[in-house]
Every structure is written in C-alpha cells, then in structure tokens.
Structure 1
Amino acid sequence: LWLILFEVCGCEYCMQDVEVLDSRLPGAIMTFINAAIQALMIVAVAVYVTPPMIFILVPVNVFYYYILRFYVSTSRQLKRLESASRSPIYSHFQESIQGAASIRAYKLVDEFVKEWLAVRLELVGNLIVMFSALFAVLFRDSPGLTAGLVGLSVSYALNITQTLNWAVRMTSELETNIVAVERIKEYTDTPIEGAHSRQKPADSWPQQGRIEIKNVSLRYRAGLDPVLKGVSASIEPKEKIGIVGRTGAGKSSLTLALFRTVEIDGGSIEIDGQNISTLSLQELRSRLTIVPQDPVLFSGTLRFNLDPFEANSSEPPICFDLVTAFLADEEIWSALRNAHLEPFVVGQRQLLCLARALLRHPKILILDEAAAAVDAETDSLLQRTIREQFADCTVLTIAHRLHTVMDCDRLLVMSAGRVVEFDSPRALLAKPDGVFKNMAKDAGIGGHGWKAIQGNGIIPTTKIPFLVPFVSDEVSTSIRKCLRRFGLENLAAVVNVPSDNPKIRLVRTCGTQLCGLPSGKGR
C-alpha cells in the first residue's frame, strides 16, 4: 500500500531525509546555538559599555529578522520543492535563466546568488561597528567609560559581523533541514494495511475454494475515484475463472482486494463462508497462492526456490510432470539441494514459480497475467500444466491474451471497475454485441477463424515437447531421447546443475546410457 501511495522514487527521498535528520540537522542545531550565544555575549558587552547601543541594536535586530524571514521563506520552500520534484525544478530554473545571457556567458550565476545574502548581512554588521565606535566617541565623557572598555566594545563589534552572519546562515539551514522531519512525518502517517486481527481460520481452511464477492467497492486512497464499483460474483469450488477486460478495468485491483493489499470500501469477500476481513493478514495470505506477472526467484538452490519455507522438507517434491522426470529419485533430489541456480529467462522463472505454487497444494490459485511475458511454447506449457495439475483447485486467471482463458469454465468480463459479463466462453461468444465478443474480434478470435471449441471450451493446442531447456542443448537432446524411449515426451525436466556433480552425471550422459538404468532410477 505504501508503494501505491508513494512512487518508487519516494524511497530515495526518504533515505535522503533520514540522512539529513541523522547527520546534518544535529550539527546545524549545535552551530546555531553556539552562534546565538556568541552574538548575545557580544551584544551584552556592547550594551554594558555603551548603553545607548540598545537603541541601535533593537532596530538592527528587527532588520536582521526581516532579512532572515525573506531568505528562509524562499529557501525552505525551495527545499520542499526540491525534495518532492528535483528534476522539474531544475528544468524550470534552466528555462527561467535563458534570458540572463550575460551572466551565463561569464559563468557568474552561482556567485551572484551567493552574494545576495552575504552583502546584506555585511552591511548590517558594519552598521553595528560604526555605531559602536560613534557612541564611544560621543559619550567619551561618561563616568566609568575607559579606553579599555571602548576597545573591548569595538573589538567585539568587529567580530559581530561574522558571528551574526553565521547565526543567520545556521538559522536558515536549520529551518531548511527541518523539512526533512516534516517529510518523514508524512511517511510515518501514511495509512498502513488493515488491522492485524488475531482471528485464525481452521487449519484446513479453505477446504473447498468457494469464493463469494458481494457488492465490493474499492479505492486506493480517500478522495480518489473507486476502481471497483459494486463487483459481485459467485465462484464455485474447483471452477476455472478467467478475468478479462481492457487496461484499467479493475482486474488486478480485484486481486489486491482478495489479498487485502488494499482494504475494500464496501461489500464483502467470503471464502468458504469466512469473511476475509475478519482474518489475520498473515493467515489470509498464507492460505492463498498467487503466480505474479513478474516471477521472483530467491538467491539459493533450486530446492530452496521450490520450497522456501521447507514445508516439504521430509520428502522430495514429486509434484507434477515438470519435475517428475529426474527429481523423483531421492539421491538425485538430495544432490540438487546444493545446486545453485543460474540466470533463467522469464519463461523458465515462471515455470519454477508455478512449481512452487503446486507444492503448496492450494485450494485457490490466482494467476495475475502469468503468461503475459512468455513465449508461445512456454505459454502452452503453462496452460496445460494448469489444466492438468490444478484440476482440484479454484483458479482465477487474469489475462490480456484471450486465448489463454478460453478453456476456463466461465469468464468474468470487467469494464470501468464493474462486472459487465459473467458466463462461459461459448455463451459469451454467442452473445450479440457482447463486450467479450468485441474483445475477441479485436484479438482475431471469432468468425470463420475460430475453430470448434472442444469440450468445455478448450482450444486445440499444437503438440510440443514439454522439455524445458534449463540445460545445454546437447544435454537437452539426450534427455529428449531418453524421455521418448520411455514414452514420456510430454514430461519436462527442470534440471540445471554443475557438470561435475557425480549424483547428476547420469543426466549429462547420452540417452542410451540413461535408458539403461534400472526402472526405479530411470523412471
């Protein structure tokens, strides 16, 4: 929620403000106090030696105050503007000084800016020195006024220029840097996530995966227009739902509402009869599974990435065909524990995230445009794996590619934060002037170019090998031969280990040698 309310660059400004608060502000406060004490001592000595100086110092101090206010008001505001939008300020200054050709030609811009404050402060300081010497001469006959006291007063007055200059500058810097405290307070006052309720659902929740969305409204911040407006939908257990719509329709916002990343304004969301707003955020999010558009891999081994919380540490994750081919053997899996990952492409990362999701045995799976950045072959592999391995799971698929959700049981079509259509793909395509039908036409789906839908709307896909090239081409070819020998062409091997690993050396041998292994290890 914090990143929603503040741009990413806000983190950088926050770090700068904390640095100002920790480093610059204490020094500015100490320097200001020292300069103020010195100035007061000088004034006290001058007034004690020549009492009429009080009539000069009062208006001079008023003059100092107005200079300070005039300078600080602009300086402080510029500091705020610089912290909030540095680049636009620089651009504005660059445009503003285009007419000052002479100053720019002699490169005297900085000098002129710096001299503005210094000249005026020097003028006021010189006035104090002048009147200190003048009153010493005019009241030379005053009792108790000795040459020593006059010299002391004048010498102190000579130093007051530098002291007052420094005091004014430190006052200005102090007030300018106080803006950092103001901005940090804004960060700390940012609305946080919903209250962390201690209510825990049953250990087996959710058992079925039924989702009831009732008249849900959501806005990212008070005062902004709602992004979800009266959204209602009833999703049955094990149902495969595709969520489609134009950009800004509210698809991803619905996901944020399910995970309570942003609290809803109105309505309710129930999972297996349990209102999610009454649950602890940690409990809610630990029971739901999402495969995001941008796959995330952690630093570490393949095993750690598939099972970061070690929920399946007691047995190898024989989870599905993506890892069955070579990870079913206990010795091979143990060797993979120390095999660190090499950089993978997006499609390979997405497959690992999908494997990680399946290891959790979820009842509700959300795919947030998981296939948006992968190639057609990986997309086909993802869709087939979802159909086969998540058959007992309620799946919500947010997609821009309409063909990736055409095999769903129903499609939830959103527009401007509302649900405009909710039916099977076949029914929506048959609906005259329907929103989804128009979207399908724009995507090149429909009419004579639309092939007959098989079963419950599954699009025929081309047969491709499910072997994911996580290894070199040479090893990949060997593994393909091996799988073909066993009749396992549709399995994928998620293997990427050092070539000198003796436990996995069998993977890097030719297909004939691998196929000659006992059935317990090779199969």
Structure 2
Amino acid sequence: MVAAIPWTAIPVIPLGIIFFVLRWYFLRTSRDVKRLECITRSLLFSCLASSLQGLWTIRVYRARESFQEVFNAHQDLHSEAWFLLLMTSRWLAVYLDVICAIFVSVVAFGALILVETLDLGQVGLVLSLTLTLTGMFQWCVRQSAEVENMMISVERGIEYTNLEKEAPWEYEYRPPPSWPHEGKINLNNINFRYSLDGPLVLKKLRLSIYPRKKRGIVGRTGAGKSSLIAALFRLSEPEGDIQIDGISTTSIGLHDLRKKMSVAPQEPVLFTGTMRNSLDPLNEHTDEELWNALEEVQLKNAIENLPGKMNTELAESGLNFSVGQRQLVCLARAILKKNQILIIDKATSNVDPRTDEVIQKKILEKFAQCTVLTITHRLSNVIDCQLISVLDSGTRKETVLPNYLLQNTNSLFYKMMHGQGESNCPH
C-alpha cells in the first residue's frame, strides 16, 4: 500500500500509536475485572461442589432454600463481574471499529483529493489493503489484550507457589528402618499455631505417652485435641520439642515421620481410583494381604459382592460407600501399615454403634502391642485406656487413671462424662 501511494504512511503511524494507547488504557481496567471474575467464579464453583457433596444432609435438614439463596448470591456476584468483563471487551471493540472507520475515511478522501494524480487501479488497491490492514490491527490488539487477561489464571496459579512451604520430605539424617520400635512419645513445652499470625492453640503442652500403652485424649470442642495430631504430624511447625523413641520429629524429614504413624481421621479419606488403590496406594502388599485386612474389619463380603470386587472404581471421596464402610477401609489401611503408633481422631463419631464396636474390638486385637492415641468426644471409647489426659484451652489439665477420674467428682473428666448423659456413663 505504501509502495503504491507513499503518503498513506502518514495516517498509518498515528493509527499504530492510537491502537497501542487504547490497548494500554483498556488493560488497566480489564485486568482487574478479569481477576474479579476469576475470584467470584471460584466462590461459585466451591459453593456448588460443597452443596453436591453434602446433598443428602441438605435434604435431610430441609435446608435447600438457604443453600439456594447462597448459591444465587454467588451467581449474581459472578454474573455482575462477567457482564462487566463483557462490557469492557465491547467497549474496546467499538472504539477499534470507530478508529478503523476514521482511518479508512481519511485514506478514501485523500484518494479523492488526489484523484487527478493517481491511477484508478492504485486507488482500488489502496482501499482494499486499507480494509485488510485495519482488520489485522484490530485482531492483533484484541488477541494481545485477551492473552494478557488470560494470564490472570497463571497469576492465580503462581500465588500457590508463593505460599509457605512445608519442611523437606527427607533430611540428610534419616532414622533407622525399625524406628520407632517402642512408640514412646514425649512432648515438651509445645506451642502450636496454624499460621504465623494465628493464635496459639496449644500452650506449653507437656505430655508423655508410654510405649505400647493406650492413651485417651479428651476435652471440649476447641480444647486442642486435633491440634495435638497436627503437631505430631508437623502439619504446621510446632515450637518446642517432640520426641518419638528419643528422636526429635523436627530432625527428620516429613516423609520419614508421617509414614511411621497411622491415623484414623474423623473424616475418612478414600482416594479416587479403585478400592485396591485406596487400601494400598504404594502397591506394597499382595492381594492376599489386602483381602485379609478387609476380612479383619468385616468388609470382605461387601467388597466381594461388588461387580469389580477389588478393582471397583470409587466415586469422589468414596461417596459410593457409607461413612462406616469408609472408616473401616481406613482401619484396614492402618492394619496393613503395621506401624507402632496409631492415632484415632474421633474416628467413630459419625458411625453407628455396631461399626463403633467393630472398630474398638479390632484396635484392641491388632494394636495390642502398639501405642494407641485415642481422641474422641465419646468418653466411653477411652474408658478402657490405661491413662486419660484431659485438655482444656490448649493445656493439659488432668492425666490419671479412668477410674480415679470418675471417682473424683471435682475432676473435669467427671463433669464431661456426666454432661453427656447417663447413657454414656460406665456403671
């Protein structure tokens, strides 16, 4: 175009400058609007996922209207951000079209003014290339702006890489393969918080758990029972010293620490995949050992009746199994690990009495020579422990034999036991 009519280069240069300035001005707003749209969309998806996961509970408690109101509020918020993003994109498109129309008009009127000095073929070529050029300019501006807006998703992903990282999985010093061989746990002046600026949930906690003994940990909600587990597994770094069989937990890697302790959590965790993968994620056991573990927890018949048996695909979080069955799978997984330390975190709070009885019986049988730490709200589950520790506000208030605590009417354990009703009190 410039070769045919050199003067057309005059409006092309301002056109490029105007497009660049317009793109810069547009991105100043659109980036923040796109970031807002991503945040509101995350809230919407999170609300939808949690509602689907707890759909039965919502229906049982007839809470559909309240959840629908929450969903509608998130949907309205996301729609506002999405509509604003669309409007900013339309604003850019309109301005680009207007500028291109002005550019084409300038070239066309310039050709009319200079019609006597130009060849008709050259005029037609210039007008045709002008339309093509403006279309290419618009496409470049829009695509470059869209790419920069989409990089907001990358920005949100990079934010996770900047989060505080856990300690290394492995240190140069590694404990012996047989560690821990006894299962003695000592906690000395433990302070624990979930974040650097968060409040202390464990305060100067001192606790000694003897090897191959059953220790019950009880306390009211917020007393620090689950935080004790988080400190043992170093989900957040504790202040103080925690030793297992004489080795400080902070002197070894997280992988060496966590694989040596089994846990039965309050919310049973099953992995996406087959039943075999949930029982043995690392493929360390034979089929016979897996079936034996399922038989120990009375799940063998239930798994054998499934179409795929051990290769049955599990739904997300194992939702195609009941809570009791999922808890028994977690217990079977702990049996397979054969660790010296077992931690039970309110594992029977959501199961029926029969499943509770099965779990308690198998713990007594299979973990008789192990250190078992039982954290529960059902005080009847810890009445058979050799010692019971009572926590309150992140500190240890009492540690004594169960019978003595029940006889001492001034003890916190006695008040908690009778506060749950006579049906839970041992006779």
> What TM-score do you get using the length of structure 2 for normalisation?
0.72
Measured after TM superposition, the shift of residue 139 of structure 1 is 5.9
Distance in 1 (CA, whole Å) between partners of 2:426 and 2:262 is 33
Percent of aligned positions with the same letter in both sequences? 34
In the alignment, which residue of structure 2 is the partner of 1:467? none
Q: 1:299 to 1:151 in 2, by over 3 A?
A: closer
In the alignment, which residue of structure 1 is the partner of 2:28? 73
In the alignment, which residue of structure 1 is the partner of 2:343? 366
Q: 1:47 to 1:72 in 2, by over 3 A?
A: farther
Q: 1:90 to 1:354 in 2, by over 3 A?
A: closer
> Is contact 1:208-1:363 (8 Å) kept?
yes
User: Which residue of the other structure, out of 399, 416, 419, is the alignment partner of 1:422?
Assistant: 399
Q: 1:384 to 1:118 in 2, by over 3 A?
A: closer
Distance in 2 (CA, whole Å) between partners of 1:378 and 1:93 is 44
User: Which residue of the other structure, out of 88, 93, 98, is the alignment partner of 1:123?
Assistant: 98
Q: Does 1:218 align with 2:192?
A: yes
Measured after TM superposition, the shift of residue 314 of structure 1 is 9.3
In the alignment, which residue of structure 2 is the partner of 1:287? 260
Distance in 1 (CA, whole Å) between partners of 2:156 and 2:84 is 30
Alpha-carbon displacement from aligned partner over 1:99-122 (angstroms, at most 9, x marks no partner): xxxxxxxxx999977753333222
Distance in 1 (CA, whole Å) between partners of 2:105 and 2:325 is 81
Measured after TM superposition, the shift of residue 146 of structure 1 is 5.6
Distance in 1 (CA, whole Å) between partners of 2:285 and 2:173 is 25
Measured after TM superposition, the shift of residue 400 of structure 1 is 1.9
* Letter in structure 2 aligned against 1:381: V
> Is contact 2:417-2:425 (8 Å) kept?
no
Distance in 2 (CA, whole Å) between partners of 1:320 and 1:134 is 90
Across the aligned residues of Structure 1 and Structure 2, the Cα RMSD in angstroms comes to: 4.3
Distance in 2 (CA, whole Å) between partners of 1:308 and 1:46 is 73
> Is contact 1:244-1:251 (8 Å) kept?
yes
Measured after TM superposition, the shift of residue 124 of structure 1 is 0.8
Measured after TM superposition, the shift of residue 355 of structure 1 is 4.5
Q: Which has the larger radius of gyration?
A: 1
Q: Which has the higher contact order (CA 8 A, sep 6+)?
A: 2
Distance in 1 (CA, whole Å) between partners of 2:407 and 2:220 is 20
* Residue segments in structure 1 that go unaligned for 5+ positions in a row: 1-41, 98-107, 328-337, 453-523
Q: Does 1:201 align with 2:175?
A: yes
Q: 1:263 to 1:198 in 2, by over 3 A?
A: farther
Q: 1:159 to 1:191 in 2, by over 3 A?
A: same
Alpha-carbon displacement from aligned partner over 1:316-336 (angstroms, at most 9, x marks no partner): 96999768xx99xxxxxxxxx
User: Which residue of the other structure, out of 5, 8, 11, is the alignment partner of 1:53?
Assistant: 11
Alpha-carbon displacement from aligned partner over 1:141-169 (angstroms, at most 9, x marks no partner): 88xx6655554433333334322222221
Distance in 1 (CA, whole Å) between partners of 2:157 and 2:282 is 38
User: Which residue of the other structure, out of 441, 446, 452, is the alignment partner of 2:418?
Assistant: 441
> Is contact 1:210-1:394 (8 Å) kept?
yes
Q: 1:376 to 1:53 in 2, by over 3 A?
A: closer
User: Which residue of the other structure, out of 226, 229, 232, is the alignment partner of 1:252?
Assistant: 226
Alpha-carbon displacement from aligned partner over 1:210-239 (angstroms, at most 9, x marks no partner): 101122233334433344333321111122
Measured after TM superposition, the shift of residue 171 of structure 1 is 1.9
Measured after TM superposition, the shift of residue 208 of structure 1 is 1.8
Q: Where do 1:70-469 residues align within 5 Å?
A: 70-86=25-41, 87=44, 90-92=75-77, 115-137=90-112, 149-195=122-168, 196-260=170-234, 262-293=235-266, 294=268, 296=270, 299=274, 309-310=284-285, 340=310, 345-429=322-406, 434-445=411-422, 450-452=425-427
Distance in 2 (CA, whole Å) between partners of 1:416 and 1:341 is 45
* Residue segments in structure 2 that go unaligned for 5+ positions in a row: 45-72, 302-307, 313-319
Q: 1:70 to 1:429 in 2, by over 3 A?
A: farther
Distance in 1 (CA, whole Å) between partners of 2:204 and 2:85 is 58
Alpha-carbon displacement from aligned partner over 1:320-361 (angstroms, at most 9, x marks no partner): 9768xx99xxxxxxxxxx964888644355445434434544
- Identify the range of structure 1 (413-422 vs 428-437) with the bigger mean alpha-carbon deviation: 428-437
Q: 1:112 to 1:441 in 2, by over 3 A?
A: same
Distance in 2 (CA, whole Å) between partners of 1:187 and 1:68 is 29
Measured after TM superposition, the shift of residue 378 of structure 1 is 2.3
Q: 1:122 to 1:238 in 2, by over 3 A?
A: same
* Letter in structure 1 aligned against 2:7: V
Distance in 2 (CA, whole Å) between partners of 1:242 and 1:116 is 66
